[in-house]
Each structure stands twice: as C-alpha cells, then as structure tokens.
C-alpha cells in the first residue's frame, strides 16, 4: 500500500471523518510487524494495536457492580460511632480532671509546707524577731484599714438613709 494513502487515511481517522472500510484498511496495514513499517507511522501502529486489544475486552457488569457495592460497604463500615466517641471524650475529661486535681493539690501542699517551714524557723536575734513581728503586724494593719474604708462608706450611706427616713416620717 502507498505510504501517501496511509497518511491520508490516518489524517481522516484522527479528524473523525474516516469510514469503517477505511479504518479496517488501516488496521490491516498497521497490523504488520512494526519493523516492516516506515518509522513515521510506527507510533500510530502501536495506537491501533492498543485499540484492537481494547475492543476485544469484555466487561462483566455484575463484577463492576459488585466492586462498587463492596466499596460502598467498606465506606459504611468506617461510619463514625458517636457513642464510642462520647465515651472516649468522657474518659478523657475524667483523666484530665484527675491530673489537674493532682497538680493543684501538690502545688497547694508545697506552698503550705513552705509557709509552715518559714513559721517554724527560729529567729535567734531579738532585733530580727522584732522586725519580723512588726512587718507582720503592719501587713495586717494595712489590710484591715483597706477593709475598714468600705465600712466607713457604708456608715455614711447608712446615715444618709436614716435622715431620709426621718424626713419621710415627718
């Protein structure tokens, strides 16, 4: 067959304008041993060989359908179990609470033991003991005075309320 004719048939085939007879003619020519074909159409020969193999394959629709159903079943098995998740979340919350309680308990005990150790330490120098007691009493006094300021405001409010009550009675 003429190489020019084959090129024209290939062009018509790739443009989608070839007839079935022309396609059969191409298949017969390209079915030869690739070594006997010209270099420029060997790739096209491999393509036609692939198309012929694909046409000969038969698909079993039942097999495909069962494959899809298997995939769907596999996905359904992976559905999120909410009850299991809630149990796991509850267990995690309990464990976290226990850890936090342990940490706070140890921290509180360490502070108390430091305070007790400081309180039980003996001061040998009387001047140092006097300064320590004076400092403690000054701290108590400052805190007491801050609290007493609130009471002074309440007492002035109470006086104003009593004077209003007296005016209402008159």
pLDDT tens, per residue, the chain with 170 residues: 678 888 888 888 889 898 889 888 888 888 877 777 778 888 888 888 888 888 777 766 666 677 777 777 776 555 567 788 889 999 999 999 999 999 988 887 777 666 555 555 677 788 888 888 899 899 988 888 887 777 777 777 777 777 777 776 66
Residue 102 to residues 91, 92, 112, 116, 168, Cα–Cα distance (Å): 17, 15, 15, 21, 60
* Cβ atoms of 26 and 6 closer than 8 Å: yes
Domain positions in the chain are 3-58
pTM above 0.75, yes or no: no
Q: What is the largest CA-CA distance in the chain?
A: 134
Count the Cβ atoms, other than its own, within 10 Å of residue 12. Answer: 15
Query: Any alpha helices (H) in the chain, and if so which ranges?
Result: 3-15, 20-30, 42-56, 61-77, 82-120, 126-169
């Amino acid at each position: 067959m003429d190489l020019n004719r084959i090129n024209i048939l290939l062009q018509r085939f790739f443009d989608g304008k070839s007839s079935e007879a022309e396609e059969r003619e191409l298949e017969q020519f390209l079915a030869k041993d690739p070594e006997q074909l010209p270099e420029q159409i060997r790739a096209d020969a491999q393509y036609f060989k692939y198309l012929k193999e694909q046409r000969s394959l038969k698909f079993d629709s039942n097999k495909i359908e069962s494959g899809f159903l298997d995939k769907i079943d596999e996905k359904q098995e992976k559905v999120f179990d909410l009850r299991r998740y809630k149990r796991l979340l509850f267990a995690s919350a309990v464990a976290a609470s226990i850890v936090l309680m342990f940490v706070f308990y140890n921290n509180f005990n360490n502070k108390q033991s430091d305070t007790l150790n400081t309180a039980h330490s003996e001061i040998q120098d009387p001047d140092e003991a006097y300064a320590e007691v004076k400092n403690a009493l000054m701290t108590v006094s400052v805190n007491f005075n801050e609290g007493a300021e609130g009471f002074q405001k309440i007492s002035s409010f109470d006086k104003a309320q009593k004077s209003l009550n007296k005016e209402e009675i008159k």
